[in-house]
Structure formats: C-alpha cells, structure tokens
C-alpha cells in the first residue's frame, strides 16, 4: 500500500518520502484557518471547503472562514469514498470555475481522503479510477488542507487516499497526495460518539501493532509506532472519564501512527479487513476491529490488549458477519485480501504465500 514490496529487499532503495507541508496543533487552532489560507487565495478563484455532512448546520460550520465566492460542500460519507463521487465533485468544480484556490477537507478519514482526491483530479485528466495504484498521478493537485474531526486513520499524514473504484478498492498513492497543510485541533473531535471514536482510534492502535510486529520495521517506524502505541494505551486503558486530555493524545497518536506506517507497512488485520470491505462494505475502523478480535495467532500480545481495551470501553465488536456467505463470496474476499501482497510480506515475511494459504485464510474469514 505504501511502497512496493521490493523496497525492503533492496537495501539501496530507501524511500525518500514526501511529508505534509505545514502542521498546526492545538485546541482552537481551527481559528487560525482564515490567516493560514489568506496567502493561498488567488483572485477570482474560490477556496472550496468540503465538510463532513455530520457537521451540516453545526457551530463548526459557522466558524468556516468563507470569503468572496468560496464554496461550501458537504461530504456524504455514508459509504466510504468512491471514485465516481470524487469525479463528480471535481467535474462540477471544473465546470463552474476556471480554477480554484484550494480545497479544505474537514472531517474523518473519508472526508480527508475525498479532499485529497478532488485536489488531484482538479489538475489531472480522466477519472480518479485511472490513478488507483502507485505513483500514477502525473501532476500536482491544487492546494489542499486536511482538518481531522476523528482521530486514528492517519489519513492526515499519509500519501494515499483510499477509494473504491469500478474494479478495486485502492488508494491514489503518490508524492502529490499528502496535504500541503494540516490543522490538528483536538476540540473538533470532542463530540464523537464513543463507538465511532473507538473504532477509528483502534485503526491507529492496529497500525502500531502491525508496524511494530512487522518484518519491514526500522528505527524510523519504531520511534513513531512506540509513541503512538503508548498514547493509545494511555487513552483507551484510562480510568478517567473521556476528556480533553484523551482527545489531545489520540490526535497525536493518529499522526504518529500514520508516520510509523508511512515508513513500514500494515499487516494481517488490514489485509483481511480489505476483503470484508470490498464484499460487504464493512467500514475500515470497525472492519479492522472485527478481524483483530481473531488474530491471536499473529499478534498475541496486541490482541490480548485490544480485547482488554474493548472490555474497558464497553464496546461491541460484531461477530458472525460472514455467516451464510457462499463459496464464491469467500473466494472474492480471499482474492482481494491475498492481493495485498506488501501487507502479507510485512506481516509474515518473504515466504508468506506458504504460510497464508487460501484454506487458512478461508478458515479465518469463517471465524469473523
């Protein structure tokens, strides 16, 4: 997902990776957005704000620094982002305006990914589906800003934006994909419902376990992964009621967890969860939790702690979601999952194909 699997085999090819341009962190830092955007505004070209539809009519919407002919769009994130959705937004904007000054995505991982993808499609021809893969994007996008309202995915720092297209679910991975600016204001995550906050937060926890337990691990990934893991433990095993401290820590955990996998890779939970998501539409955070619940064989300590966190926070993890599926449906999930080669290689090593056979993976899917 983040780089080709030959990266770690050839020690001469270290990834020279593109990072986010500017980062502001702090409670209330959202108020600086107007000033941050000012130098990016081009005469006559609107700034486009893509706001998670959850915030429609909210106090946060009132605080968006709209000026001149700026555009406010709501991101419908009922389903995870699709290439058709990205194309529709980008084509509409292209038809209405010669150019736009930039796009600001305010929301969870889905909204941030949509904003990244629309930014790229403003300056690249064709459909976003043409760019699902690695380093296919040819031109930089328009100026883009990410402002998370949920913590965990690491989408704020990653070089991808995950999209479901006509034939696959895969990101537009490129050096043009990371945001130019991110605004990390933990106040924006304050009202997230406990279940959603947990599922998205566990995405970060699972990033840490998969990175730290993976064969691609290096000191760079380890440094970020260990810190993110510690923050997740402090947040999800805390005996104090949820408060500001928790939101602050989880927002930084998400950032650091994202940095950790940027230089390593995710593993078994993500590879299996992609299969669920493709066939059943299971969302990323909850899908990872459903899978993690059954991965004792691969991540014994991480799964034990995950279960402790589930119990401690009174969260329900669905079970039996693969009951009644046909052989053909299991095959589809197995194909999608085994296609995530770098993830398996990171998790199980170069000989992963001998370890994770189709039969073994089928047995794992049946347990979910």
Footprint of Zn ion (CB under 5 A): 203
**8-state DSSP, 92:** H
Question: Is the CB of 203 or the CB of 305 nearer to Zn ion?
Answer: 203
Which residue of 83, 119, 149, 265 would you call a contact of ligand NAD, by CB under 6 A?
Answer: 149
- Which one, 80 or 203, has the nearer CB to Zn ion? 203
Exactly one of 40, 127, 195, 196 binds ligand NAD (CB under 6 A); that residue is 196
Q: Does 150 bind ligand NAD (CB under 6 A)?
A: yes
Distance of CA 133 to the CA centre of its chain: 15
- Does 187 bind ligand NAD (CB under 6 A)? Our answer is no
Q: Closest CB to ligand NAD among 72 and 99? A: 72
Q: Which residues make Cβ contacts (< 8 Å) with residue 74, sequence separation at least 6? A: 50, 51, 52, 53, 56
> How many contiguous H segments (helices) and E segments (strands) does the chain have?
14, 9
Q: What is the DSSP string of 109-133?
A: HHHHHHHHHHHHHHHS-S-GGGG-E
For 170, the token pair is 């895969």
Distance between CA atoms of residues 241 and 261, nearest Å: 30
Report phi then psi at 160, rounded to 5.
Answer: -140, 165
Query: Tokens 């979910």 map to which residue?
Result: 368
Residue 80 makes contact with ligand NAD by CB under 6 A: yes
Any contact of residue 54 with ligand NAD (CB under 6 A)?
A: yes
> Minimum distance between the CB of residue 21 and ligand NAD, rounded to whole angstroms?
17
Closer residue to ligand NAD in complex, CB, 157/212: 157
Which of these, 343, 128, 309, lies nearest to 229 by C-alpha position?
Answer: 309
Q: Which does 200 bind (CB under 5 to 8 A by kind): Zn ion, ligand NAD, none?
A: ligand NAD
Q: How many residues bind ligand NAD (CB under 6 A)?
A: 30
Nearer to ligand NAD, 45 or 336 (CB): 336
């Amino acid at each position: 997902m983040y780089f080709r699997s030959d990266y770690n085999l050839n020690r001469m090819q270290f990834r020279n990776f593109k990072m986010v341009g500017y980062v502001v962190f702090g409670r209330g830092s959202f108020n600086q957005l107007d000033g941050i955007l000012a130098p990016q505004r081009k005469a006559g070209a609107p700034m486009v704000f893509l706001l998670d539809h959850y915030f429609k009519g909210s106090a946060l919407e009132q605080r968006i620094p709209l000026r001149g002919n700026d555009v406010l769009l709501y991101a419908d994130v009922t389903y995870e982002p699709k290439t058709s959705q990205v194309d529709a937004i980008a084509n509409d904007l292209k038809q209405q305006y010669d150019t736009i000054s930039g796009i600001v995505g305010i929301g969870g991982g889905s909204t941030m990914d949509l904003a990244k993808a629309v930014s790229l499609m403003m300056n690249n021809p064709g459909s976003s589906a043409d760019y699902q893969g690695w380093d296919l994007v040819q031109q930089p996008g328009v100026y883009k800003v990410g402002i998370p309202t949920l913590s965990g995915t690491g989408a704020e720092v990653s070089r991808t934006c995950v999209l479901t297209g006509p034939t696959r679910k895969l990101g537009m991975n490129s050096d043009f994909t990371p945001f130019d600016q991110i605004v990390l204001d933990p106040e924006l995550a304050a009202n997230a419902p406990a279940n959603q906050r947990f599922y998205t937060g566990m995405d970060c926890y699972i990033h840490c376990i998969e990175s730290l337990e993976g064969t691609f691990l290096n000191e760079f990934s380890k440094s970020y992964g260990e810190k993110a893991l510690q923050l997740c433990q402090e947040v999800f095993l805390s005996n104090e009621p949820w408060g500001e401290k928790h939101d602050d820590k989880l927002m930084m955990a998400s950032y650091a967890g994202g940095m950790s996998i940027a230089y390593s890779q995710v593993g078994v939970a993500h590879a299996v969860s992609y299969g669920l998501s493709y066939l059943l539409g299971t969302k990323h955070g909850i899908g990872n939790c459903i899978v993690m619940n059954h991965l004792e064989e691969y991540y014994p300590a991480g799964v034990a702690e995950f279960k402790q966190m589930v119990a401690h926070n009174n969260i329900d993890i669905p079970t039996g979601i693969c009951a009644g599926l046909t052989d053909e449906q299991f095959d589809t999930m197995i194909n999608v999952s085994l296609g995530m080669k770098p993830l398996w290689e990171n998790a199980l090593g170069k000989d992963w194909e001998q370890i994770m056979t189709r039969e073994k993976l089928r047995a794992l899917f049946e347990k979910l």
